[in-house]
Amino acid sequence: DTHARERSDRASGGRRVVMKRITLLNNQNQKQRTVVVTAAAADLEALASAAKSKLRLKRVTAFYTEDGTILQPGAPLHDDQRVLASVGERFVGAAPFVPIAQLAAVGDLHGERFELPGEKGAICWLPLGGGRLCLWHRPSRRSFSKLQQSGCSTICTLLGANEGADGIGAGARAAGLNWLWTELKVGREDYLSTDEAAERVTRAVADVQAALSRG
C-alpha cells in the first residue's frame, strides 16, 4: 500500500497538481463513506460532486475536518485524512477511527471505494490474502497513473493477443505497475468451455494469488 506518500498528477499546461487520498464521510451517518483521490489543496466543488454521486448527498453546505473545523477552499489535505460532508446540520463529531480491514472483518464494510478523477466507475478494493483485489473495466491510456495513485500495484489482464492486450501492458509498465497477462479469447464462448481455457484461467488465478500474498 502507499500510505502517507505524496502523489502527483499531470494537469493541463504542464503544471503538476499534488494529489492526496482522503476518506469522505456523511456527517450524519458516518458508516456511509468513500475514499477519493483529490487535490491536496481542498477543491470543495470536486468534493461536493463526490459526495453527491457516492454518498447521495445532494446539497452539501459545508465540509468539516475531524476536529470540527469548517474546511475552506484551498486548505491543505493530507493522505488518509477524514472529511465530513454536511447538508446543513452542525458538526456531530467524528466517530473513532476504525481501520478498513477491521470493518471488513466484522462485516460492516464490503470494500474500500476509490473515486478516480475523470473515470467512470469507482474502484472497490476488497481485502484478500496479504493484499487487496478489485474488478474494473478495461483501462484507457489515461487511467494507469490514476490506478497507481489509488494504491494499485498490479494489473491482471485476460484478453486475446488481437484484443489490445499489449497496449494495456505497455500502459501499465509506463506507470510503474506490474502486469500479469493470461492470453484468453474471451469473446468466444465455445473456446471458454474448453480444457485449454480452464487451464489458463487456473494459472491466472494462481498468479493473482501469488501477487496478493506479496501484499
The 10s digit of each residue's pLDDT in 140-151 is 888 998 888 888
29 pLDDT higher than 80: yes
The C-alpha atoms of residue 192 and residue 27 are separated, in whole angstroms, by 47
Please give the distance of CA 21 from its chain centroid, rounded to a whole number: 9
The C-alpha atoms of residue 177 and residue 163 are separated, in whole angstroms, by 20
Average pLDDT of the segment spanning 6-18: 51
Which of the residue ranges 37-41, 126-130, 195-199 would you say has the lowest mean pLDDT? 126-130
Average pLDDT of the segment spanning 29-40: 84
The C-alpha atoms of residue 53 and residue 50 are separated, in whole angstroms, by 5
Note whether 78 and 5 are within 8 A (CB): no
2 pLDDT higher than 50: no
Average pLDDT of the segment spanning 12-18: 58
The whole model's pTM is what? 0.50
Number of Cβ within 10 Å of residue 55's Cβ equals 19
Of all residues in the chain, the percent with pLDDT exceeding 90 is: 27
User: 12 φ, ψ to 5°?
Assistant: -65, 150
Average pLDDT of the segment spanning 182-197: 79
User: 26 φ, ψ to 5°?
Assistant: -75, 120
Residues 6+ apart with CB under 8 A from 188: none
The C-alpha atoms of residue 155 and residue 94 are separated, in whole angstroms, by 35
Q: Quick one: pLDDT at residue 111?
A: 64
> How far are the Cα atoms of 20, 48, 112, 125 from residue 120, in angstroms, in the given order?
19, 17, 17, 16
33 pLDDT higher than 80: yes
13 pLDDT higher than 80: no
Tell me which H or E stretch contains 198.
Answer: helix 195-213
85 pLDDT higher than 90: yes
194 pLDDT higher than 90: no
